[in-house]
Amino acid sequence: MKVLKIINEGLRRFEYFVISFTVIILALMLCGNILSRVVGRSWNFTEELGQLFIIIITYIGSIYAVRYSRHIRVTFLTDLLPDRFQKGLYIMVCFVSSAAFFFFTYWEVLYMFEAKGTGRITAALAIPKWTFQIPIVIGLFFTGFQYLVTGLMNVFVKDKVYSGTNRELGEELDIQ
């Protein structure tokens, strides 16, 4: 568990940096493009990079959402169950979700290699279109990893129920 916590902390810092950096660059790029339109010449690459940055924010953000349990959860069923069954249900949901995300990762990798075979590139920057799939693969894989770690934490820590790797069930969240 200690090794998983160290890896998890490194991932948390990486996510925080990537999301922050991407949002800042996206905002600056879009504002710059608006100003350049006023002058009379729009930046051709803005749409392509904007699309890539939205993909990054979405899929790296999904890792963050699972870590802090900030995703949509349907708790009406768990709220009706006694405490001892709630933990079992959370464990099952974490492992099933993890397996599903690892399955999605597998299919996304297959799709990425199929897209690579087409040889398509973007119009303005001539970036291979398949590279836009890389953040999706990373996001899906590490979202599955977060569910796996949360499930393992619930299995091995007997007196607590975790809804995310950095959040206990019912705990108020102070986001950094």
Whether 60 is in a domain gets the answer yes
* Confidence (pLDDT) at 121: 95
Residue 136 in any domain: the answer is: yes
Q: Tell me what percent of the residues of the chain surpass a pLDDT of 90.
A: 61
Q: Evaluate if residue 171 carries a pLDDT over 70.
A: no
Comparing 173 with 121, the larger pLDDT belongs to 121
Query: Is 173 within a domain?
Result: no
Mean pLDDT of the chain: 89
| Residues contacting residue 102 through CB under 8 Å, at least 6 positions apart | 140, 141, 144
Give the chain's domain count: 1
Which among 83-87, 104-108, 121-125 has the top mean pLDDT?
104-108
Is 93 part of a structural domain of the chain?
yes
Confidence (pLDDT) at 159: 85
Range of the domain at 92: 2-168
What pLDDT is stored for residue 90 in this prediction?
A: 87
Give the model's pLDDT for residue 111: 97
- For residue 138, tell me if it sits in a domain: yes
Nearest to 15 by CA among 164, 168, 172: 164
Q: Is the pLDDT of residue 176 over 60?
A: no
pTM of the model: 0.87
pLDDT in tens, 115-130: 999 999 999 999 999 9
Digit-coded pLDDT (tens) for 117-170 = 999 999 999 999 999 999 999 999 999 999 999 999 889 988 888 877 777 766
Give domain status of residue 174, yes or no: no
Q: Looking at the domain assignment, is residue 122 inside a domain?
A: yes
C-beta pairs of 138-141 under 8 Å, 24+ apart in sequence: 138/59, 138/60, 139/58, 139/59, 139/60, 139/61, 139/62, 139/63, 140/59, 140/62, 140/101, 140/102, 140/104, 140/105, 140/108, 141/101, 141/102, 141/105
Q: Enter the tokens of residue 101.
A: 């995300």
Asked whether residue 175 is domain-assigned, the answer is no
Please, what is the Cα angle at 134 between 128 and 139, to 5 degrees?
155
